[in-house]
Amino acid sequence: MTSTASAPAAAATVELRGVDKTFRSRRGEVPVLRDVDFSARAGEFVSVIGPSGCGKSTLFKLIAGLDRADAGTLTVNDKPLDPKDHPVAFMPQKDLLFPWRSVVRNVVLPLQIAGVGKAEARARADRLFPLFGLEGFEDTYPFALSGGMRQRAALMRTVIQERPLMLLDEPFGALDSLTRTDMQEFLLDVWDEFGHTIVFITHDIREAIYLSDRIYVMTARPARVRMEITVDLGRPRPLDVIATPRFAELEAQLLHALREENRQQEAAG
């Protein structure tokens, strides 16, 4: 990847200790997270997998400062998380590009909301368009883009904020297999280029192994950390690593854990 972008943002550390979260309504209480310990070191790529509905997205909302834990501690760069410091950029499952805004106007929207001047926002975007393979599509509207191009635009909108911590919530889940693979490789290039700390939610075990330095496996709800696995496959990581015996060992270990948690969740109703 040949860069014309600005210097990488400083990476962040994130740490949760003993975190609990319960949702309360007129129908009663729903415990979602229980005594969760989690960390990501500066510049690390960490994935979170677990049964559907176990609380992975709730974990993200806490780290993003969109919700508060009922108990425990959450720190970014060894300080209590303060959303006013804006240390986190969040990319949700859907690209959420506004259809009435061109690609460039979608990309710079977070900067405009943050009060960055129009000229500075456009200058940042112009530096990134070649890097993201979207040069020449600045004034194109989302309906005219392929699925992969839309996700590149959404990822660019996340990166342009220059936050030290990026949270990616199943960003490739809706893509076809080939496009998804292309986006995985592209994400690793972006991560290598900018040096962010990335925390990534996925239901795809192979995706988690291919991308990550470490993987957290969550239990059925209320979610705890069942296991933490270090992905010892080296970097840089070519795509053909998925055919190696060690990759297969990691995949089998994670699949066994997830199948057990799914069975427990089904048994609990």
> What does each C-alpha distance from 156 to 43, 97, 226, 245, 252 come to in angstroms?
18, 12, 33, 35, 34
Place of tokens 């990476």: 11
- The stretch 165-178 carries a mean pLDDT of 90
Q: How far is CA 222 from the centre of its chain?
A: 21
pLDDT computed for residue 24 by the predictor: 86
pLDDT value, residue 120: 94
More confident residue, 37 or 82: 37
Query: Which pLDDT score is estimated for 8?
Result: 44
Window from 54-58, 105-109, 132-136 with minimum mean pLDDT? 54-58
Res. 239: pLDDT tops 70: yes
All structural domains of the chain: 14-87+165-268 (3.40.50.300), 96-162 (no CATH)
For position 7, what pLDDT does the model report?
Answer: 39
Q: Which of 6-20, 79-93, 210-224 has the highest mean pLDDT?
A: 210-224
115: left (phi over 0), alpha (psi -120 to 50) or beta: left
**Of 1, 4, 3, 9, the residue nearest 197 (C-alpha):** 9
Per the listing, tokens 């990026």 go with: 166
Mean pLDDT over all residues of the chain?
A: 90
